[in-house]
Structure 1
Amino acid sequence: MRINRLISIAVFAAAAITFTARASVTIRDLSSVKVISKDSIPKTLFTVGIGGGLIGGLYDGFYPYKSLKKHGNFGLGAPDKLDGELMIFQGKIYKTQHTGKTSLVDDRDSTSFSMVNFFHADKKFNPPAGMGKIALFHYLDSVLTNVNGMYAIHISGKFKAIKTRAFPPVKAHQHTPLAEMLALQRFFDYKDCEGDLIGYRLPYFMDNTNISGYHFHFLSTQKDAGGHIIDFKTDKIVIEIEQLDSYTIQPPATKDFKHFDFKKNREEDIKSVERGGKNY
């Protein structure tokens, strides 16, 4: 008699046994299986590269995307030799190029600077519609009460308008500071769109190694548009917050990094690059 269905019997004491129609038996030892609880998920921000170095011209990628995924499923960053912006979302890495094209990256390629974590929301908020970037940041300040806390922030939903940007590619070992390349950045305007803002609010003591304050990248629901956030107007959105408790930095081991001048104060350059220039 031919049996067409699969019968599974779970033995909870020590093993799971599955019987198949061909009478073969597969035994899986469950005694060593660990149940991962919410509290056991690491709340660590993993940073590749140095924020001040990227602002100052360290654009050459050195850390493979394949390795980056091992440290987080959520985050943002910069591709090798720029040509766009990175969005790490739900375990996949997307790149919006200076042409506006948005696509998955090749895991064999690398990043010059990225921040990632394994996102698991601690809190959720439903703010009123119609807020611009500054108004939303004020709202976030009112609920993120630890001024020296590290927060991963996921904002999803509908937006009345979003403005993003991406930088063009540079040549290998080209170190023109980003603040001097603002005239070359490309802007993209989206109306009545849906998607996700992926970002962080980091404290000032992390400036230079990371980028303090708010920093967001956008990825559309269709995964065909994105970039660094310049401005937006919300419609109906949901905000999810995770407070992180530690951070790890993986600096480059390149020759350019070893001779880079970190003594220079790049605070104004960082602000200018973050907002896309003085007019934003």
Structure 2
Amino acid sequence: MYRIKTCLMLLLAFVLSNAKAQTKPNPKLNNLYTAGHASAFIGGLYNAFYPYSQLKLHGDFGLGAPDLLDGELLILNGKIYQTQASGKTFEIKDNTLTPFAVVNFFKADQTLKTTNSLTKEKLYAFLDSILPNQNAIYAIHIKGTFKEIKTRAFPPVKEKPYLPLAEMLPLQQFFSFKNIKGDLVGYRIPAHMEGANISGYHFHFLSADKKSGGHIIELLTDAVTIEIDLLNSFTVALPQTKEFAAFDLKKDRREEVKRVENGKKN
């Protein structure tokens, strides 16, 4: 009887220990964490709701948008940078909020280098050739020298009701750079995740001196290193707000997303 009781106690301890281990957050998991909902954000929900301090618990690499769309966000090595419509780029504190961001803990599974001059279209085609799984989630870090880069940032919104992002394209501000060193932070998101996320390629830029950045519109690479992190799961933290609860998510915004991604009015 004593042996049976001892075995049962050991078994119970093992089960409890294993359950605790499974529920404890594991930053090493290859998970894409989305704070917000892409279609709702594209549709005009620019009010921030998710703390940057909480976002950092789910990733040290990623991109997103500031509160009320005051520019663009990039997360690299655990630091968050904002590029405003004025072009000013700076590191921000984690005591404020974001309306939309995607992050992961970046650890390269594959690294390669290229000295070919690649436009954005050729770069994406090259990435497609080395990323065979069309239904997988890839985090992509590209670092090096760029012969040319054109970025953009949106100005802040002021009065409700806020315009959908595609209708704000005439207000976007562009920035052009030549022979500049820096980092591209981005993802290739599969089509089955469209809606809550933005499918396809999406990159933001940060210069090496951390003084310039923005959403990528055009580029021409020089010598760059490409790091790929294959992710195997995703999580979406939905806004717990009255605006999101009442937002119409049935509208197909795929064409709007394409225009916003490419910075084109039509």
Distance across 1 between alignment mates of 2:129 and 2:265: 26
Larger Rg computed on CA atoms? 1
One-letter amino acid of the structure 2 residue matched with residue 255 of structure 1? K
- Structure number with the higher helix fraction is 2
Kindly provide the CA deviation profile for residues 60-103 of structure 1, in whole angstroms up to 9, marking residues without a partner as x.
Answer: 00011111111100000000101100000000000000000000
Tell me what 1:15 maps to: none
Kindly provide the CA deviation profile for residues 216-242 of structure 1, in whole angstroms up to 9, marking residues without a partner as x.
Answer: 000011110000000100000000000
Tell me the C-alpha RMSD between the 2 structures: 1.5
The structure 1 residue matched to 2:230, chosen from 226, 243, 249, is 243
The structure 1 residue matched to 2:254, chosen from 235, 252, 267, is 267
Distance across 1 between alignment mates of 2:162 and 2:36: 15
Residues 1:110 and 2:97 aligned together: yes
Secondary structure at the aligned position of 1:103 is classed as: strand
The structure 2 residue matched to 1:178, chosen from 165, 177, 199, is 165
Distance across 2 between alignment mates of 1:248 and 1:173: 30
Unaligned 5+ runs, structure 2: 1-25
Kindly provide the CA deviation profile for residues 94-144 of structure 1, in whole angstroms up to 9, marking residues without a partner as x.
Answer: 000000000011211110000000000000111232110000000000000
Distance 1:258 1:172, change over 3 A: farther
Distance across 1 between alignment mates of 2:137 and 2:44: 26
Note if contact 2:139-2:229 (Cα within 8 Å) is conserved in structure 1: yes
Tell me what 2:114 maps to: 127
Q: TM-score of the superposition, structure 1-length normalised?
A: 0.84
In the TM superposition, structure 1's runs of 4+ consecutive aligned residues that sit over 6 Å from their partners are none
The structure 1 residue matched to 2:149, chosen from 162, 177, 200, is 162
Tell me what 1:210 maps to: 197
One-letter amino acid of the structure 2 residue matched with residue 69 of structure 1? K
One-letter amino acid of the structure 2 residue matched with residue 247 of structure 1? F
Distance across 2 between alignment mates of 1:92 and 1:174: 32
Tell me what 2:58 maps to: 71
Distance across 2 between alignment mates of 1:79 and 1:176: 16
Distance across 1 between alignment mates of 2:236 and 2:27: 21
Distance across 1 between alignment mates of 2:178 and 2:157: 30
Secondary structure at the aligned position of 2:68 is classed as: coil
Note if contact 2:183-2:205 (Cα within 8 Å) is conserved in structure 1: yes
One-letter amino acid of the structure 1 residue matched with residue 189 of structure 2? L
Distance across 2 between alignment mates of 1:157 and 1:141: 20
Note if contact 1:156-1:195 (Cα within 8 Å) is conserved in structure 2: yes
Kindly provide the CA deviation profile for residues 135-167 of structure 1, in whole angstroms up to 9, marking residues without a partner as x.
Answer: 000000000000000000000000001000000
Bigger mean CA offset, 174-183 vs 142-151: 174-183
Tell me what 2:178 maps to: 191
Equivalent pairs: percent with the same residue?
Answer: 55
The structure 1 residue matched to 2:40, chosen from 50, 53, 56, is 53
Distance across 2 between alignment mates of 1:175 and 1:250: 22
Distance across 1 between alignment mates of 2:265 and 2:156: 22
Distance across 1 between alignment mates of 2:140 and 2:160: 33
One-letter amino acid of the structure 2 residue matched with residue 256 of structure 1? E
Distance across 2 between alignment mates of 1:102 and 1:128: 28
Aligned pairs, number = 242
